[in-house]
Structure 1
Amino acid sequence: MQQHHRKLTRAAVLLTTLATSGAAVVHLAQAQDAPTRARDNGAVVAIAQAHPASTHYSFVRLDGPARTAVMDDNARLVAMFTDGARTAVLSGQSRTFTDPRRTSAVVTTSNWVRLAPQPWKAGAEKESWFRPWLGEALADRSPDVLAVATQYVTFAHYADDADYSDFLGITNKGVKPRKDRFGDVDSAGYVRLVYGYRLGYPIGAGGLPRTPQEMPTAPLGAAIADNAVGSPQTRFLAQPGDLLLFSTDGSKGAVDHVGIYLGVDDAGQQRFIASRGTPNGPSFGDSSGRSVLDDDGPYAAGLWGIRRL
């Protein structure tokens, strides 16, 4: 009992230090390795002993946004769940993602992003679904959100009125594919392809809408930030797998583009993947504006908000 108490205390000190020092928990496997460039204004608000069925885990509540950090018996951070969102960021085997035709940047990460069976809420670790799901998810090495998203960097074409049904050439919920758009996918269609068709997140009413313009008002998981154009600090709230909403036409408040946040690249910059006209498809490359949140380009300046599904 005394040893367990010391580990809980160590976990609390670690997360309190991260929260108050401003170091974001980006690399979950080793929280202390988090890039100092990233910032997180959250604070520890509660620490609870693990439920009896979860003997080897402890759970720490954080604010900004409200979320639960899962610590193992050695006080290592292994998972992060955000209230209202199904996406969980889990610690796992390190992987490297590349887009060699469009950028020399690489993203190496030990973060794995999975969809939980239901949105998270405070205390959900005590529910019957949680422990079996967590064990399976931590051991799962099938493609996750980040792997699925990056599978499309070498093919698919962009069209600003294409959907994933056009890309796949299938009829989905009454939407027939357009023959002239076969193989094309725009930014919203790409998100629907990754999260909807491949990973089973709801689409349409109550789920992922057809266009970026509809996303600010759609009931999508947790709203991490809204209407934040001109607020550079917003980018520090991004977590791998998040949807990034952009206003790139200079009209504040008019969302016209959406991407998926991947993480920090080898140059220390926050990189995302999206389908856009140049380079004509899904990419996290540097053509026609770099796919990063921390430069002086149109995407960094036009970050409107963040949704965590």
Structure 2
Amino acid sequence: MALNAGGLALVVGLTSIAYGSLDMARPSLSEISLGVAELPPATSGPGSQYVYQRLQTPDRTAIYTSDGTLVATMTDGARTGHIIGPPRTFEEPRFTKAKVHTDVYVHLAPKVWRAGAEQEQWFVDWLEKTRTEKPRDVLETAFQYTYGASPEKDSSGQQIAGDAAFGPLSDTDPDGRAENSDFYDYLGVSWTFPDKREKPAAAHILSLDCSGFVRMVYGYRMGFPLLGTNTKGPGLPRRAYAIAAFGPGVQLMENRGTRPRELDRLFPGDMLFFNAGPVQGANIEHMGIYLGVDDRGHHRFISSRSQANGPTMGDLAGESILDGTGYWALRMRTARRV
């Protein structure tokens, strides 16, 4: 570990996550993307220590302390909670000079949010526990699978994190990697879904394709329900196109078959979907996780990609940004918050 910007830096392989002071003249990501406005009067009830404000597009509730400090944002129809915490920095210097500074932590609430849930005891208890105990969130978990990330095992000795490949060399593309590496392939264990039972493929152990990476982070690690097939149901389907079309949560913009212009709707942790196929249009062949605005002013994401051979926020074989005229920017189609 080393000091970075006046704080503590946690180094995961060749990826650095730094916690500490930032340039206070720079607006925080919470001020930029989560919205700050005039607050309503305080309410009474279980959550009366906070002040709540309703916002739109998408419909959501912003939660403040009585002095106007933003604490969290909860989106209607989604379990994702955006909790404000100590500033930190995500970077992957081997593959990009860009850094993402953020004070937003992405956690899953035990229930889907709806307007008025701030007065329910489950939410008050969950918010307090999350703010106090500070469990590992979606973004930090995602970086546990980037290049050079150190292996991590659970109490049974099962490796649950560490540098992930995209997949074995492809039999059909001499320069590419094979898909079909789900989280259970990475783990090397059989898995029973509500709709299917699967066994790991030996060649895919410690590998995650694009949707497998997202399912590992949100499903296996964070506890969101998972499906084994590409059907609509109470969980994340297997493939990117199915998650985009009828997965759980809130679709943040319509898939019109062209790049969306509503990037200001995105919060860290949102699932992003791309047309990475040879024919342009509304088809979805790739997905990733939104990180936020980087220190160069670009909307940056992390995804597991064949040419990068695993999860990366870097710019190998295409910049990992949504604005501009790069490969991925032109191919983004929609986004979803689970």
TM bucket normalised to smaller: 0.7 to 0.9
Equivalent residue number for residue 48 of structure 2: 55
Q: 1:122 to 1:45 in 2, by over 3 A?
A: farther
What is the CA–CA distance in structure 2 between the aligned matches of 1:44 and 1:106, rounded to whole Å?
Answer: 28
Say whether 1:259 aligns with 2:288: yes
Of 222, 225, 229, 1:199 maps to 222
Shift in CA distance, 209/78, structure 1 to aligned 2, threshold 3 Å? same
| Cα distance between partner residues in 2 of 1:184 and 1:35 | 32
SS at match of 1:146: helix
Q: Is the 8 A contact 1:66 1:83 kept in 2?
A: yes
Q: Match of 2:95?
A: 102
Distance verdict in 2 for CA 1:237–1:228, change over 3 Å:
farther
Q: Contact conserved, 1:46 with 1:60, CA < 8 A, in 2?
A: yes
- 2: distance between equivalents of 1:201 and 1:56? 29
8 Å Cα contact 2:237-2:247 kept in structure 1: no
With over 3 angstroms needed to count, the CA separation of the structure-2 counterparts of 1:246 and 1:48, relative to structure 1, is farther
What is the CA–CA distance in structure 1 between the aligned matches of 2:27 and 2:129, rounded to whole Å?
Answer: 25
Deviation at 1:56, TM superposition (A): 2.3
Q: What SS class does the counterpart of residue 252 from structure 2 fall into? A: strand
Residue in structure 2 matched with residue 19 of structure 1 by the alignment: none
**How many Å apart are 1:44 and its aligned residue?**
7.9
Q: Please report the TM-score for the alignment, with normalisation by the length of structure 1.
A: 0.84
1:1-309 to 2 correspondences below 5 Å:
33=27, 47=40, 49-154=42-147, 155-159=163-167, 160-173=179-192, 174-204=197-227, 205-249=233-277, 250-309=279-338
Q: Secondary structure at the match of 1:52?
A: coil
> For 1:64-89, what per-residue CA distance to the aligned partner results, in whole angstroms no more than 9, with x for missing partners?
11000001111111110000000010
Alignment CA distance shift 1:71-1:45 (3 Å): closer
Aligned-pair distance for 1:148? 0.2
Counterparts of 2:245 and 2:86 in 1: how far apart (Å)? Answer: 36
Post-superposition shift, 1:218?
2.6
1-structure distance, mates of 2:130, 2:29:
25
TM-score, normalised to structure 2's length? 0.77
Bigger fraction of residues in helix: 1
Partner SS for 1:188: helix
Identify which range, 257-266 or 100-109, moves more after superposition. 100-109
* 1:43-101 per-position Cα deviation (integer Å, ceiling 9, x unaligned): 98994632333232110001111000001111111110000000010110111112122
The share of aligned pairs that are identical, in percent, is 38
Give the letter aligned to residue 203 of structure 1.
Answer: L
Which structure 1 segments of 5+ residues have no match? 1-29
- In the TM superposition, residue 212 of structure 1 has moved relative to its aligned partner by 0.9
Indicate the RMSD between aligned Cα atoms, in angstroms: 2.4
Spell out, residue by residue over 1:259-291, the C-alpha distance to the aligned partner (whole angstroms, 9 max, x if none): 001111111211110001121000000001111
Asked whether the equivalents of residues 246 and 257 of structure 1 are also in contact (C-alpha less than 8 Å), the reply is yes
Distance 1:221 1:98, change over 3 A: same
Output the amino acid matched with 1:304.
R
Q: Structure 2 unaligned runs (5+)?
A: 1-23, 148-162, 168-178, 228-232
Deviation digits for residues 162-181 of structure 1, max 9, x if unmatched?
11111111111121000111
Offset, 1:293: 0.9
CA 1:53–1:226 in 2, change beyond 3 Å: closer, same or farther?
same
Q: Sort the Cα spacing of 1:229 and 1:299 in 2 relative to 1 into closer, same or farther, 3 A.
A: farther
CA gap of 1:43–1:75, structure 2 versus 1, over 3 A, is closer
Task: Give the Å deviation of 1:206.
Answer: 2.2
* Residues 226 and 43 (structure 1), Cα distance of their counterparts in 2 relative to 1, 3 Å cut: farther
Distance verdict in 2 for CA 1:197–1:39, change over 3 Å? closer
Mapped partners of 1:278, 1:219: distance in 2: 27
CA change 1:168–1:308 in 2 (3 A) is same
Mean Cα displacement is larger for which, 60-69 or 91-100? 91-100
Change (3 A) 1:93 1:231: same
Rounded Cα–Cα distance in structure 2 between residues aligned with 1:237 and 1:230: 17
Query: Hey, what's the Cα distance between the residues in 1 that align with 2:49 and 2:291?
Result: 29
Corresponding letter in the other structure for 2:249: G
Asked if the contact 2:240–2:273 (Cα under 8 Å) also holds between the matched residues in 1, the reply is: yes
